[in-house]
Amino acid sequence: MKYCDEYAALLDQFIDGECTPEEAERVREHLATCEGCRIYVADAYAIRDAFPTFEDTQVPDGFADAVCAEVRADAAPRKKPRHWVKLTVSLAACVAVIAAAVQLAPLYGGGSTAASTASAAAGSAGSEENSGMQKFAAMVAPESGTAESGASSSESNEENQLMTADTAQPSQSGGTASLVPKEGADLYNTQSEAGEKRYAAWISVTKAQIGTLLDGYEGTQSVDAVSGETFTRYELSRKEFDAIVAQLQNPKVTVDDNADTELCSIAVYP
């Protein structure tokens, strides 16, 4: 016996407790006289009653071990908010080491020693923070001072290059063009033909919606090309983006499956 087409959609809302009291009353009155719909509702309850639960699922052997091994592999370079502060400090340290080395070089009879000292120092600083350095470089660039901005120039795609003594020197940083936020796109090859930066996923939210979720991250001020409104853009890895979006009410995420990047964007409007 079939349910009534007229009630087909409403019955499910009734079963799920999602209809208004008036609709519920209407359904109840109908059920009193219609066996087909009564059977449908009964079946739905039977399905709910017997629906698989997590208790009766067998997790594959070694699943947690595999996840934890990944986590431990990721543990050392794990990114944290305010990471850019450390980067700035590391770069400042590099500059200081180079300056000291250059001053000391004549005393030890040659620039090559000084250069290798500087490289070694820069290399060790780089290894502490190596993961995600490129992405943070993109975030840091517009907000940093001259020395850091020079170092986070988009000229380099290599993490290590980012931290070498050469790029830390303002005179070889490639000029001040790298201070403009747009240049970060070069790091990810994410610019569309129209010159608009592309993201794997993005979302626009208000300051009230995002609350404190982005505290500790540095955004860049941007202007909406359509409305002319000013907003702050935060660029994040996909996992960071997902972790934040999973805490938002009613998020409307746009995904670009064709974007050649894992970088995501959150635009925060006042």
Partner 1 sequence: MNDNIPEQDLIEAAKKGDPDAFEVLVRRYEKRVYSLALRMCGNAENAQEAAQEALLSAWQGLPFFRGEAAFATWLCRLTSNACVDLLRKEKRQRAVSLDDEDLNLDLPDRGPGPHEAAERQELREAIGRGLTTLPDEYRTALVLREMQQLSYQEISDTLDVDIGTVKSRISRGRKQLRNFLTRTGNLFAAYPSKEAEKEGCK
* CA-based nearest residue to 238, from 218, 262, 265: 262
* CA-based nearest residue to 217, from 105, 149, 138: 138
Query: Looking at 49-57, 91-99, 152-160, 166-174, which segment touches partner 1 (CB under 8 A)?
Result: 49-57
Distance (Å, whole) CA 185 – CA 177: 13
Distance (Å, whole) CA 258 – CA 191: 12
Strands 264-269 and 201-206: parallel
Using the rule CB under 8 A, which residue among 89, 99, 120, 243 binds partner 1? 243
Q: Give the number of other Cβ atoms within 10 Å of residue 150's Cβ.
A: 25
Using the rule CB under 8 A, which residue among 125, 138, 141, 244 binds partner 1? 244
Using the rule CB under 8 A, which residue among 107, 110, 250, 270 binds partner 1? 250
Using the rule CB under 8 A, which residue among 5, 33, 61, 80 binds partner 1? 80
Using CB under 8 A as the binding rule, whether residue 57 contacts partner 1 is answered as: yes
For partner 1, the closer CB: 38 or 182? 38
Q: If binding means CB under 8 A, how many residues of this protein chain bind partner 1?
A: 78
Identify residues 175-204 at the interface with partner 1 (CB under 8 A): none
For partner 1, the closer CB: 6 or 16? 16
Question: Considering the complex, what minimum distance in angstroms separates the CB of residue 247 from partner 1?
Answer: 6
Using CB under 8 A as the binding rule, whether residue 227 contacts partner 1 is answered as: no
Identify residues 83-122 at the interface with partner 1 (CB under 8 A): none
Distance (Å, whole) CA 64 – CA 189: 35
Using CB under 8 A as the binding rule, whether residue 37 contacts partner 1 is answered as: yes
Query: Looking at 56-64, 90-98, 106-114, 121-129, which segment touches partner 1 (CB under 8 A)?
Result: 56-64
Task: State the chain's maximal CA–CA distance in angstroms.
Answer: 103
Residue 99 Cα distances to 12, 94, 169, 184, 252, angstroms: 73, 8, 10, 28, 50
Distance (Å, whole) CA 262 – CA 202: 11
Identify residues 7-26 at the interface with partner 1 (CB under 8 A): 8-9, 11-21, 23-24
